[in-house]
Amino acid sequence: MIALRAVTKVFGSGPAEVRALCEVDVEVRPGELVAVMGPSGSGKTTLLTIAGTLERASGGTVHIGGRDVAELSKDDLARLRRRSIGYVFQDFNLLAGLTAVENVALPLELDGHGVKAARAAGMEILAELGLADRARHYPDDLSGGERQRVAIARAVVGERQILLADEPTGALDSVNGDAVMRLMRAACKRGVAGMVGTHDAQLAAWADRVIFLRDGRVVDRSEPRTGPESLLGR
Ligand code: ADP
Ligand code: MG
């Protein structure tokens, strides 16, 4: 799970100082998808980047799986990023020369797993997420929504416990955006702690909880149980 306590992030210094985050508390439990919602410049990307240990907080603490990331060695931190955290970016980042299943298996291969075992794990997660029939397609032969769904499969392949997505639906139409959020939710239901940044209330409604950011501060929190899925009675 992810626990951020009183996290502050300051960029620059003196007159150029920017307070991107101020005393932010966020906790995401396994199986839970939390949306971080706010307008452009409110601190969503900064929060996700710090939760993903890609950037250090200026103040406060970040615990991942019960461990204070500030106390991890460089090697331990690299291992945590490689094995435990999956990232989904707006522009998909799939490799054009690899099929969907090869893209999904890549993080495991890079982590030293054999090709066969990695591909098998890739097929398994694609199937779990309803993408088995896309496994042998190359990214160019997939729709934007399908590509983003493959990127989510890649982010949760193996034993990853954390899924972080920054505006993952930004380049998609609303139908594909909903499909991506539905899949994020399905991925989290497998026991992953997920955090998704978005400025879109309709997409945030897919999350189990929403945290509202403004000017780097949490201004509201909700427990929306009335998202699209529950309206459909599912
Ligand atoms: P959002 O993702 O919600 O649009 P960001 O986290 O990108 O917000 O940015 C929050 C604030 O921090 C903004 O004022 C932005 O200009 C500033 N900021 C983000 N990254 C940097 C950086 N590397 N250097 C200086 N300021 C930054
Ligand atoms: Mg952003």
Per residue of the chain (234 residues), what is the pLDDT tens digit?
899 999 999 999 999 999 999 999 999 999 999 999 999 999 999 999 999 999 999 999 999 999 999 999 999 999 999 899 999 987 768 999 999 999 999 999 998 999 999 999 999 999 988 899 999 999 999 998 899 899 999 998 988 899 999 999 887 888 888 888 988 998 899 899 999 999 999 999 999 999 999 999 999 998 755 555 555 544
Q: Are 199 and 35 in contact (CB under 8 A)?
A: no
Which pLDDT does position 232 carry in this prediction? 53
Nearest alpha carbon, ligand 1 atom 16: 41
Report the nearest atom of ligand 1 relative to the CA of 12. Answer: 25
Report the nearest atom of ligand 1 relative to the CA of 199. Answer: 3
- Within 10 angstroms of residue 73's Cβ, the number of other Cβ atoms is 8
Output the ligand 1 site: residues, CB below 6 A: 11-12, 18, 20, 38, 40-46
Give the distance, in angstroms, between the CA of residue 143 and the centroid of all CA atoms in the same chain: 20
The ligand placed nearest to the CA atom of residue 40 is: 1
Q: How far apart are the first and last CA of the chain?
A: 25
Residue 113 half-sphere exposure, CB side, CA atoms within 13 Å?
20
CA of 136 to the centre of ligand 1 (A): 38
Which pLDDT does position 222 carry in this prediction? 86
Q: How many DSSP H helices and E strands does the chain contain?
A: 8, 10
Which pLDDT does position 230 carry in this prediction? 53
pTM of the model: 0.90
Q: Is 137 helix (H, G, I), strand (E, B) or coil?
A: coil
Which pLDDT does position 227 carry in this prediction? 54
Which pLDDT does position 89 carry in this prediction? 80
* Cα gap 18→39, rounded to integer Å: 16
Q: Are 207 and 35 in contact (CB under 8 A)?
A: yes
Tokens describing residue 50: 């710090």
Which pLDDT does position 234 carry in this prediction? 42
Report the nearest atom of ligand 1 relative to the CA of 49. Answer: 6
DSSP state of 61: E
